[in-house]
Structure 1
Amino acid sequence: MLGALLTAGCFAALHILSANGQIVVAHFMAQNAFSYSQSDWENDINTAKATGIDGFALNIALPDYEVDRVATAFVAAENANFKLFFSFDMSRSWQQSDIVSLVATHASSSAMLTYNGGVLVSTFAGQDNGNDFWAAIKTSLANQGIKVTFAPAFVSFRDPNQANNLLSSFPSIDGFFNWWSWPNDVNALLTTDTDIAYRNAAHSRGGPYIMSVSPWQFKDIDPNNAWVEQSDTLWNYRWLQAIQDVKPDIVEIVTWNDYAESHYIGPINPNVDLGSAAPNYVNGFPHDAWRTIAQHYISWYKTGKAPTVANDVVVFWYRRAHPKSVSCSGGWVPRMSDFPADAVFAVSLLSSPATISLDIGSTHAQFNAGVGATLGSVNFPSEDSQIPFIQIIRNGQTIKSGFGSVFVTRSCSWYNFNPFVGIIQ
């Protein structure tokens, strides 16, 4: 539900998402919008809305062409009743005046996301700028009649025991965005310890607590930027952590379009310049079907009730390029490359119980799936050049079935731990 919020001074009517505070946004790399026209923004916004996403957090790296592109984004978002807010990428150098100017320019837009009566402003990093830097920005905007709700992702704050230090070091913050949505270089599932500690800290300031939810993490663009985190089942259990354990004010999907780090859930825009390395593991690796899982869990998060499934589907993903032990002719061996399992993973979304059958080569697995979402997997076979075959079987009858679109092979021209994502529907 959208409601109007009136504030003082020249800061006129703003619009907020006011239901139960359960807001879902996706992190959008504005750097990748160089070639964007308004129709590109419209396509992304409409696709996101159909998934249940309420807005984009615009990761803006420099006050350059991105300023013009996000101006177009605000026009498209206003027309679509969609929300936007700025997430300043502080790994780059920002002047206070540029941040103030950009926020002020769009503060009164009906597309601007507000929280607790203030324009929501976030970051990636920025802790090294110190509290005075951020306090001065808030003061400058307040002098223009613009209240800010500041919820940064100060990425050095990951240790749960440092949550109180965050509060004492940064009196200027109102909430917090926990960027860390992957295990910390360990072959283990991600816990919610960091989420709980920083959620409590954020709520002591009025919030919001923004929890990141991500499907994957892999990068291979140069020797210093080559890694893969343990992400095999992350897209399933991280959503459950948000819904059942953490209950954040805002879920931020990381990301919509950061192609180089392999955690995009948006369509791959062919006009985006991916550089020289990333195309080797991005092109031909769609993640669109992950949005089907997101749609299910977004509905659950917003309503507090697992949604009724009307159409039986199986969403599956696997590293199509090669098993992890294979040596490739290009790219760099990623750190933690021994963590991911050589397997096909699948989440069924069913209207009634069924058996999910997973085959690839001589390897077979099956699992009994109940109503709603159920996770299963099948290991890669010993044979080369094999492709998954997936079936939904109910009462002894195959209801739906299908193959993956690509083969798992033992030859590769680039180290690729980015999964192919498909769907049986």
Structure 2
Amino acid sequence: MFALTLLALAIAGAHTLSANAQIVVAHFMAQNAFSYSQNDWTNDINTAKATGIDGFALNIALADYEVDRVATAFVAAENANFKLFFSFDMSRSWAQSDIVSLVATHASSPAMLTYNGGVLVSTFEGEANGDAFWAAIRTSLANEGIKITFAPAFISFRDPSQANTLLSSFPSIDGFFNWWSWPNDVDTLLTTDTDIAYKNAAHTRGGPYIMSVSPWQFKDIDANDAWVELGDTLWNYRWLQAIQDVKPDIIEIVTWNDYAESHYIGDINPNVDLGTAAPNYVNGFPHAAWRIIAQYYISWYKTGTAPTITNDVVVFWYRAHPKAVSCSGGWAPRMASFPADAVFAMSLLGTPATISLDIGSTHAQFNAGVGATIGSVNFPVEDSQIPFIQIIRNGQTVKSGFGSVFVTQSCSWYNFNPFVGVIQ
């Protein structure tokens, strides 16, 4: 884990969850676990726990090899006092019997996350299956003595005005997972309108309301799957929305390991098959330092108080080329004009300091107070430049460092996936 020491970080015992606990999970793509051994699961679980994450929502797409890998995950989670639950990926075809079988197989595991006395079950999509499909699954499991708490991500329900329609259309649901944690193809910041409307709706059924928090969204795997959302400061303000405004029952980080969509916060596992396109924008672009920010905000969410910082750090992120550059490979993403050509830096400080940002001939600085402060410096006009970041206090540089990726005026692949680094 990074050398960020937080006092009053009340997460060490958070894995024994009470009914009223503030729960944080991360969306885990089980499809990417083909090569996973139990040791891989254990490493990811231990890294997640060190960040303050209580469990993984296992996005499972097919009843194939993923079933075996999930069984291994439960063994690792039981050994680590970590929680798991299923998020059925309904963009694929699922038989009711396969869903029932998977839930029933692991329902009694001490690693299974429960909510309101029921095994928590979620989805990605699934509204097209209709309420009768899900009601039958609930009944089948009940016949086996298994109560579930069903909180799906029915992604067509995004407009706040549809919250009551969700309830009337799906009597079988208990709560709701709002998947949408990025602006909706617009050049404006994400609001909490959807969160508040669906939280209120979910609470009429007993909940939980699960709010997604995500650092980024970029994909470039073919001409039809090439887009980027406005995410420059998302990893900061979305956490604040959760903590200060929405106060959801569960926060779900999207994602731990969806590399192709660039919102992974887990380490890049070199044994995972990324396909042919994604390696061009994933390899060499770690996001591990984003977990430092997650750790800070998770502690705040769980304790209700911003944690005390005893080790100053600056987490920074930036893309490898300006948005207007034409690349020789890949596909120009939709919404490419939205992100700013800039290096973003977020300080976590125990005492105030000046944060100095330089890249090429471009300089910026900002006064950072105690806790979290964010600033940026624009890309330079020069080619092949790398950022230099300093923490300055009383006129003296106390910490400094460079990025590890150069910002260039040419590119071999359209890459709007940021490099994430840290000065610590």
TM norm structure 2: 0.96
Task: Assess if the C-alpha contact under 8 Å between 1:178 and 1:195 holds in 2.
Answer: yes
Q: How does 1:95-110 map to 2 (within 5 A)?
A: 95-110=95-110
Instruction: Measure the CA separation in 2 of the matches of 1:16 and 1:107.
Output: 17
Equivalent residue for 2:77? Answer: 77
Q: How does 1:26-425 map to 2 (within 5 A)?
A: 26-320=26-320, 322-425=321-424
Q: Alpha carbon RMSD of aligned pairs, Å? A: 1.2
How many residues matched? 413
Instruction: Measure the CA separation in 2 of the matches of 1:96 and 1:407.
Output: 50
CA-to-aligned-CA distance 1:200-252 (integer Å, 9 cap, x gap): 00011000000000000000000000000000000000000000000000000
How far apart are 1:79 and its partner, in Å?
A: 0.2
Task: Assess if the C-alpha contact under 8 Å between 2:12 and 2:52 holds in 1.
Answer: no
Equivalent residue for 1:11? Answer: none
Any runs of at least 4 consecutive aligned residues in structure 1 with deviations exceeding 6 A, and if so which?
A: none
How far apart are 1:89 and its partner, in Å?
A: 0.1
How far apart are 1:21 and its partner, in Å?
A: 2.5
Instruction: Measure the CA separation in 1 of the matches of 2:352 and 2:395.
Output: 12
Instruction: Measure the CA separation in 2 of the matches of 1:241 and 1:411.
Output: 37
How far apart are 1:301 and its partner, in Å?
A: 0.3
Instruction: Measure the CA separation in 1 of the matches of 2:182 and 2:44.
Output: 25
Change beyond 3 A, Cα 1:16–1:403:
closer
Task: Assess if the C-alpha contact under 8 Å between 1:16 and 1:114 holds in 2.
Answer: no
Q: Which amino acid aligns with 1:82?
A: F
1:334 aligned counterpart, secondary structure: coil
How far apart are 1:148 and its partner, in Å?
A: 0.2
1:70 aligned counterpart, secondary structure: helix
Change beyond 3 A, Cα 1:229–1:164:
same
CA-to-aligned-CA distance 1:271-290 (integer Å, 9 cap, x gap): 00000000000000000000
How far apart are 1:20 and its partner, in Å?
A: 3.6
Q: Which amino acid aligns with 1:372?
A: G
Task: Assess if the C-alpha contact under 8 Å between 1:16 and 1:115 holds in 2.
Answer: no
Instruction: Measure the CA separation in 2 of the matches of 1:21 and 1:156.
Output: 29
Consecutive unaligned residues in structure 2, runs of 5 or more: 1-10
Task: Assess if the C-alpha contact under 8 Å between 1:113 and 1:119 holds in 2.
Answer: yes
Task: Assess if the C-alpha contact under 8 Å between 1:358 and 1:390 holds in 2.
Answer: yes
Instruction: Measure the CA separation in 2 of the matches of 1:82 and 1:289.
Output: 22
Task: Assess if the C-alpha contact under 8 Å between 2:19 and 2:115 holds in 1.
Answer: no
Instruction: Measure the CA separation in 1 of the matches of 2:16 and 2:295.
Output: 21
Instruction: Measure the CA separation in 2 of the matches of 1:84 and 1:403.
Output: 38
Q: Which amino acid aligns with 1:365?
A: A
Instruction: Measure the CA separation in 2 of the matches of 1:24 and 1:310.
Output: 23
Q: Which amino acid aligns with 1:384?
A: D
Task: Assess if the C-alpha contact under 8 Å between 2:19 and 2:116 holds in 1.
Answer: no
Q: Which amino acid aligns with 1:340?
A: P
How far apart are 1:16 and its partner, in Å?
A: 6.4
Which one scores higher on RCO, CA 8 angstroms, separation ≥ 6?
2
1:75 aligned counterpart, secondary structure: helix
Task: Assess if the C-alpha contact under 8 Å between 1:2 and 1:18 holds in 2.
Answer: no
Task: Assess if the C-alpha contact under 8 Å between 1:2 and 1:16 holds in 2.
Answer: no
1:373 aligned counterpart, secondary structure: strand
Change beyond 3 A, Cα 1:16–1:146:
farther
1:399 aligned counterpart, secondary structure: strand
Change beyond 3 A, Cα 1:40–1:306:
same
Q: Which amino acid aligns with 2:237?
A: Y
Instruction: Measure the CA separation in 1 of the matches of 2:64 and 2:405.
Output: 39
How far apart are 1:17 and its partner, in Å?
A: 1.4
Instruction: Measure the CA separation in 1 of the matches of 2:237 and 2:196.
Output: 16
Task: Assess if the C-alpha contact under 8 Å between 1:392 and 1:398 holds in 2.
Answer: yes
Instruction: Measure the CA separation in 2 of the matches of 1:167 and 1:302.
Output: 29
Equivalent residue for 2:25? Answer: 25
How far apart are 1:297 and its partner, in Å?
A: 0.2
Q: Which amino acid aligns with 2:356?
A: S
Q: Which amino acid aligns with 2:317?
A: W
Change beyond 3 A, Cα 1:258–1:367:
same
Q: Which amino acid aligns with 1:298?
A: I
1:53 aligned counterpart, secondary structure: coil
CA-to-aligned-CA distance 1:312-370 (integer Å, 9 cap, x gap): 000000002x1001000000000000000000001000000000000001111000000
1:24 aligned counterpart, secondary structure: strand
CA-to-aligned-CA distance 1:135-172 (integer Å, 9 cap, x gap): 00000000111000000000000000000000000000
Instruction: Measure the CA separation in 1 of the matches of 2:243 and 2:255.
Output: 19
Instruction: Measure the CA separation in 1 of the matches of 2:194 and 2:17.
Output: 26
Instruction: Measure the CA separation in 1 of the matches of 2:310 and 2:227.
Output: 39
How far apart are 1:2 and its partner, in Å?
A: 11
How far apart are 1:411 and its partner, in Å?
A: 1.4
Instruction: Measure the CA separation in 1 of the matches of 2:310 and 2:396.
Output: 19
Task: Assess if the C-alpha contact under 8 Å between 2:208 and 2:250 holds in 1.
Answer: yes
